[in-house]
Chains A and B, each alone.
Chain A
Amino acid sequence: MPVPVIEAEDVVKTFTVRARSGMLRRARTPVHAVDGVSFTVAPGEFVGYLGPNGAGKSTTIKMLTGILTASSGTLRVCGLDPSRRRTTLARRLGVVFGQRTTLWWDLPLRDSLALVRRLYRVEAAAHRARLAELTALLELDPFLDTPVRQLSLGQRMRGDLAAALLHDPELLVLDEPTIGLDVVSKATVRDFLARVNAERGTTILLTTHDLGDIERLCRRVMIIDHGRLAYDGGLDELRRTVDADRLLVVELARPGPPIALDGIEAERVEGPRQWLRLPRSANAAAVVAELTRVHEVRDIALREMGIEEVLAGLYRGDHAYWCSGRPVAP
């Protein structure tokens, strides 16, 4: 078992919220933003960290990077206590906040990256090679000499990614890196991240609300809700945990009455087109065979419930999902 990149054990972060409760009195209420979270991330993993707004995602990320100190529990990142060894750890981490840039607004991207090299004390030769590689992968060449303030959001994000990876960090922490990007920029960023993870073996922890990011990139998903890990496991298992009904869209040769087969009924009829909901237990092949035998079918489409529906169920606090899934031991 390799040494984990992240080791979190029963990590708690409590904030004290002061609310006015009288003329001069203020009530202090402790709020558990992160309430006993434990997980490990092995080198080379690509983990998606999901949860609704306010669930504790950002707080976790801030503790991992040493911006915040955990109230209790133990935390090791690259073998270091992030809050005590923040500066040392900073040299081994790459951090990208999708909402704000860490580049120098008025400097050309090339100069910003050169400054990052000096701040992180990267050797000039290593920097040249790395910069050439990142420039090729992220297609930075057309705007390397443009001041950061003139870059489009997609270009800026690529610049930020380059800046975060110049010092070849062991762990890359991404906080919503594709927020606000167009389809093409998103694809560029995703392809790049997949390559960095596969070729460099860089461990990546990604928070996002974009499920495309998750489906394209993450083999493992952690879901936090109300400060607790609600799910930690493979993306495929997560899909399976949901009572994943499938939808069969049938187009008949001519309009007819709603189809009824072995307890499966059309729940929607629109002219020749009918929608049938298949429970997980149903054998789709058998249903299709039966359908084509009984009816004259022109076309058939089978749709899986997307990860979107799965997460919406989880976020709504539909606890049946927790129970059917792989619940994380408290």
Chain B
Amino acid sequence: MADTVRMYGLLVWAWIRAAAQYPVSMVLLALATAVVTGLDVAAIVLLFSQAPRIAGFAAPEVLFLYGTSALAFGVSDILLGTTERLGYHVRQGTLDAMLVRPVSPLVQIATEEFSPRRFGKLVPAVLVLAYALANADVPWTPGRVAMVPVMVLSGTAIFGGLWVLTGAMQFVLIDSHGASKSVTYGGAFLTQYPMTMFARDFVRGVTFAVPLAFVNWQPALYVLDRPDPLGLPAAARFASPAVAVLVCALGAVAWRAGLRHYRSTGS
């Protein structure tokens, strides 16, 4: 594990130095990221200054949902987002070159073209979350305070597990690139809004099928002191870390199975 982290760091550093070989492009891309990030923040401010309540949630509460989800997704995207390129590497044959190096191909793909720019995505998430935490009408207790980092970490792990899982699926469905994007990017969109906006059955399906609801909805109900519209037992609100472990384990198993499949079919 420590070795994996070390290799991850080494490769990240190599890609950052590689990006620095093109200084002009690096500056332009950083500027573009800053503009997009600024627009993102502006859109959120605009939306919530016009519609202070969405589905019974006050603006700071919705922003809390948005902030925690966006932060969790952002961090997972930084760490593992490029695993969706797996299909490309399989088709190009570049995965073979990764397999002859003594480093996990997952680490090699995840670090590919790593750029500090990726951190730009975190700026709106952090700003929104900071605003939400300062303004939400929450009776803060030590438990609720502790739940905030727990839900962000669990959410990161859940999204990370999903990245790996959907990446692994590409070993089998080589052209499923688009399908996997709808699970991850679609999921990020879904969790940015209160689930009561969506139909009840759909929410139930999502809670059990794709455990995205655990990314922040269930723990947020606890933090915001809200009843669950589905009436799930109170324990569900604390299940995020367990769900995260489960999703990560599933991702790991799928990745191994996918790699084995690749190595026996050589597609």
Enumerate chain A interface residues (CB-CB to B < 8 A). 13, 15-16, 59, 62, 65-69, 71, 83, 86-88, 90-91, 93, 95, 97, 100, 102, 104-107, 111, 115, 118-120, 147
Contact = CB atoms under 8 A, between A and B. Distances in A.
A87 B102 contact: yes
Interface residues of B, number: 25
B91 interface: no
B96 interface: yes
Given A67-B263, A106-B21, A111 B99 contact: no
Contacts of B265: 15-16
Interface string B101-117: 11110000000000000
Nearest to B10: A118
Interface of B: 7, 10-11, 14-15, 17-19, 21-22, 93-94, 96-97, 99-104, 260, 263-266
A119 B7 contact: yes
Nearest to A83: B263
A93 B97 contact: no
A69 B97 contact: no
B101 A90 contact: yes
Given A69-B260, A107-B17, A91 B266 contact: no
B264 A69 contact: yes
Contacts of A106: 18-19, 21-22
B260 to A, nearest CB: 7
Contacts of A107: 14, 17-18, 21
Nearest to A66: B99
A67 B90 CA distance: 12
B101 A147 contact: no
A72 to B, nearest CB: 12
A119 B18 contact: no
A107 to B, nearest CB: 5
B120 to A, nearest CB: 21
A237 B10 CA distance: 50
Contact of A147 (B10, B21, B97, B104): B21
Contacts of B15: 104
A177 B101 CA distance: 18
